Amino acid sequence: DTAVSQTPKYLVTQMGNDKSIKCEQNLGHDTMYWYKQDSKKFLKIMFSYNNKELIINETVPNRFSPKSPDKAHLNLHINSLELGDSAVYFCASSQGPGGLGINEQFFGPGTRLTVL
């Protein structure tokens, strides 16, 4: 029944490690997103894919690499983790990337990443 799901829910790791977060949506949406929410609760977009094609790539360190094997999945791989990467990462999806009526975004439950 879960519309947008993410795994894992919690991720605790050491600095310098590489980790991945997975996201899946069963809404039939074409567009998926990754957001980062910092300790001050500020939510900021990182990437967006539309039908497996990258359409938004914010100013994010290239240690972060999204991958979309199909339009229902968007994974986030992070290399050489740093303390400042600690945050909650949310995946979201929408019917389309823009235009009235199709860009309402629905969020997954989030992955709390803690880098020690």
Partner 1 sequence: QKEVEQNSGPLSVPEGAIASLNCTYSDRGSQSFFWYRQYSGKSPELIMFIYSNGDKEDGRFTAQLNKASQYVSLLIRDSQPSDSATYLCAVLKNQGGKLIFGQGTELSVKP
Provide the minimum distance between the beta carbon of 5 and partner 1 in the complex, in angstroms, as a whole number.
11
> Site for partner 1 (CB under 8 A): which residue of 43, 61, 63, 82?
43
| CA-wise closest residue to 19 among 69, 68, 82, 108 | 82
Provide the minimum distance between the beta carbon of 11 and partner 1 in the complex, in angstroms, as a whole number.
16
Residue that is written with structure tokens 């996201």 in the block: 23
By CB under 8 A, what part of segment 78-107 binds partner 1? 90, 94, 96-98, 100, 103-107
> Site for partner 1 (CB under 8 A): which residue of 14, 28, 41, 69?
41
d(CA 74, CA 69): 7
- Sequence-ordered strand ranges (E) for the chain: 4-7, 10-13, 19-25, 31-37, 43-50, 53-57, 64-70, 73-78, 87-94, 106-107, 111-115
d(CA 116, CA 113): 10
Provide the minimum distance between the beta carbon of 97 and partner 1 in the complex, in angstroms, as a whole number.
4
Closer by beta carbon to partner 1, 54 or else 116 = 54
Residue that is written with structure tokens 């949506």 in the block: 25
Provide the minimum distance between the beta carbon of 102 and partner 1 in the complex, in angstroms, as a whole number.
9
The residues binding partner 1 (CB under 8 A) are 31, 33, 40-45, 48, 50, 55-56, 90, 94, 96-98, 100, 103-110
